[in-house]
């Protein structure tokens, strides 16, 4: 899908990048994109994360919670691979912007992140529900749903909870899923979330949310499962830590 749909400009961008890579590493932005598209390590890491999340789902099923448990996933770089969008922007020397991003989402060409399809299939077979919580603009709900469906991840019973405003936080939407109150809920019954999967720290409950077994580093690998993202995130604006310098 997305990996096979590359414009002429992108091809022109890739040829010198590929031929000269052994002599000189590409700029940091392009290197981060290349890592997620081409490295064996990225796919292996993603599948490893989803295998661990699958173990949490199996535990949920074994505890007799059929119909009353769910998994919560972010969308971008957690379920859908948008590296083709990033590659196109880099080829034209352009940064991310909301207009080009909306146009990309409308194209519905993102592929699936390695490992996610097997994880979702296991959750559904075991009797769990799936909630997608993303900060994509709520106006992009239909193309987002269609893209998830195109890569085999969507089911009619899923909940797709996008952002209606800057005040409509992921914490709010997680609470709706868990308490059973709100648009992201399936019913008025509380829902136990056995796994949160994302690529940014904001995809996971903080301590203030008081969700059992979350809110600390110890939650990762048990209830929270973090995928690598070398293309963007809060880390890109963080100051590098230099040894010996406070």
127-166 per-position pLDDT tens digit: 999 999 999 999 999 999 999 999 999 999 999 999 999 8
Query: Counting Cβ atoms within 10 Å, is residue 124 exposed (0-12), middle (13-18) or buried (19+)?
Result: middle
In a domain, 67, yes or no: yes
In a domain, 92, yes or no: yes
Q: In sequence order, what DSSP letters do the residues of 44-101 get, joined into one string?
A: HHHHHHHHHHHHHHHHHHHTT-TTSEEEEE-SBTTTEE-HHHHHHHHHTT----HHHH
In a domain, 110, yes or no: yes
Contact 104, 82 (CB under 8 A): yes
In a domain, 246, yes or no: no
Q: Structural domain tally of the chain?
A: 1
In a domain, 235, yes or no: no
In a 3-state reduction of DSSP, which class is residue 217? helix
How are strands ordered across the β-sheet holding 69-73? Answer: 159-163, 129-137, 69-73, 192-198, 224-226
For residue 2, what pLDDT is reported? 47
Q: Write the CB contacts of 218 (distance below 8 Å, at least 6 apart in sequence).
A: none
* Strand 159-163 to 111-112 pairing: unpaired
In a 3-state reduction of DSSP, which class is residue 192? strand
In a domain, 68, yes or no: yes
In a domain, 198, yes or no: yes
In a domain, 117, yes or no: yes
84-107 per-position pLDDT tens digit: 999 999 999 999 999 999 999 999
**What pTM value is reported for the model?**
0.85
CATH of the domain at 13: 3.40.50.1000
Please give the average per-residue pLDDT across 221-239, as a whole number: 91
Domain that holds residue 108: 2-230
Question: What percentage of the chain's residues is helix, strand, coil (to nearest 5)?
Answer: 45, 15, 40
Contact 49, 227 (CB under 8 A): yes
């Amino acid at each position: 899908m997305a990996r096979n749909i590359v414009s002429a400009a992108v091809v022109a961008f890739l040829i010198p990048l590929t031929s000269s890579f052994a002599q000189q590493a590409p700029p940091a932005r392009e290197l981060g994109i290349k890592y997620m598209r081409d490295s064996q390590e990225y796919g292996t890491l993603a599948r490893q994360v989803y295998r661990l999340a699958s173990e949490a789902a199996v535990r949920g099923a074994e505890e007799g919670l059929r119909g009353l448990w769910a998994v919560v996933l972010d969308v971008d770089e957690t379920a859908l691979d948008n590296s083709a969008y990033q590659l196109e922007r880099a080829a034209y020397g352009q940064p991310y912007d909301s207009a080009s991003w909306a146009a990309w989402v409308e194209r519905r060409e993102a592929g699936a992140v390695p490992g996610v399809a097997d994880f979702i299939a296991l959750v559904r077979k075991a009797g769990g529900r799936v909630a997608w919580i993303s900060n994509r603009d709520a106006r992009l709900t239909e193309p987002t749903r269609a893209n998830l469906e195109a890569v085999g991840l969507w089911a009619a019973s899923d909940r797709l909870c996008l952002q209606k405003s800057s005040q409509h936080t992921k914490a709010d939407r997680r609470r709706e899923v868990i308490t059973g109150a709100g648009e992201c809920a399936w019913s008025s019954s509380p829902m136990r979330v056995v796994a949160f999967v994302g690529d940014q720290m904001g995809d996971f409950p903080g301590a203030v949310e008081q969700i059992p077994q979350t809110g600390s580093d110890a939650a990762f690998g048990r209830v929270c499962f973090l995928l690598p993202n070398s293309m963007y995130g809060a880390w890109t604006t963080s100051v590098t830590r230099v040894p010996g310098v406070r």
